[in-house]
Amino acid sequence: MDYLDSLILGIIQGLTEFLPVSSSGHLELGKSLLGDNSLPKESMIFTVVLHFATALSTIVVFRKDIFEIIKELLKFEWNSNTQFIFKIIISMLPAALIGVFFETELESLFSNNIVLVGAMLIITGLLLLLADRAQNTSKNVSFKNAFTVGVAQAVAILPGISRSGATISTAVLLGIDKTKAARFSFLMVIPLIFGKIFKDIFSGELSYENAQITSLGIGFITAFVSGLLACTWMIRLVKNSQLKYFAYYCAVVGIIAILSTYF
């Protein structure tokens, strides 16, 4: 992979991880545009590095929230912060179970399947449009809602379904406050990303022997910086109910992706 490809894919990952347009879908589209041969044999480690970068950007944006949660957890008291942690754990279960038992089947979907990506982007657009029109959004995240949002996150494993779009839309449609929905959506993915990284490292699935350090560094930095910007921007957008523009974008890109396979 040359440096320009690393830069482009890093920016794509950083922006689309938080904006409700599907990072996995856009990475598949980027892969198709760049050509399979332009990607390194170490594509797995490159993908992991990009996700690690966006996970770190989430930690930076929500550092105060995370430190407060950890501080309260160390007190061993059952309060709102410890309850929040258990809600995060509950939300992780659906995606974790699917990832463990259907890993091979899921990997087969990430093979330049542009039609699937296009169709899922259109579905993402419809979800965002529904959420943008939601009116009664003042609830807190309950344990039941946390599991429901977790199911949405599991569905978002499909390339083209936006994880942030699916989880935030589901939360908002359940009546959860939009700012709290965005906060929960971004924080709930951190344990999953780190869990995936540690699993791949300790299982030996990641090989560092031929890794291109410079390309990895460029991808990491661009994903981290663009992730910081996108995460902060997305919180404001959700609060101001401006998801419809991303809905239109997803629909247009999805249709173009599908049509491109026939021409």
Domain boundaries, the chain: 3-260
The one-character DSSP state at 161 is S
User: Among 38-47, 81-90, 96-105, which range has the highest average pLDDT?
Assistant: 81-90
Give the model confidence (pLDDT) of 161-180 as tens digits.
988 889 999 999 999 988 88
Q: What percent of the chain has pLDDT over 70?
A: 88
Helices H / strands E in the chain, number of each: 13, 0
More confident residue, 72 or 248: 248
Predicted TM-score (pTM) of the model is 0.81
Give the model confidence (pLDDT) of 200-249 as tens digits.
667 665 555 555 678 888 989 999 999 998 888 887 877 776 788 889 99
> What distance in Å separates the CA atoms of residue 47 and residue 166, rounded to the nearest whole number?
21
Q: Which residues pair with 176 in a beta bridge?
A: 139
More confident residue, 105 or 111: 105
Residue type at position 107: E
Residue type at position 208: Y
Q: What is the pLDDT of residue 207?
A: 56
Q: What is the pLDDT of residue 255?
A: 94
More confident residue, 103 or 152: 152
Q: Which residues pair with 139 in a beta bridge?
A: 176
Please choose, from the candidates 99, 192, 175, the residue with its C-alpha nearest in 3D space to the C-alpha of residue 130. 175
Q: What is the pLDDT of residue 147?
A: 96
More confident residue, 145 or 262: 145
Q: What sign has the CA pseudo-torsion 27, 33, 36, 42?
A: negative
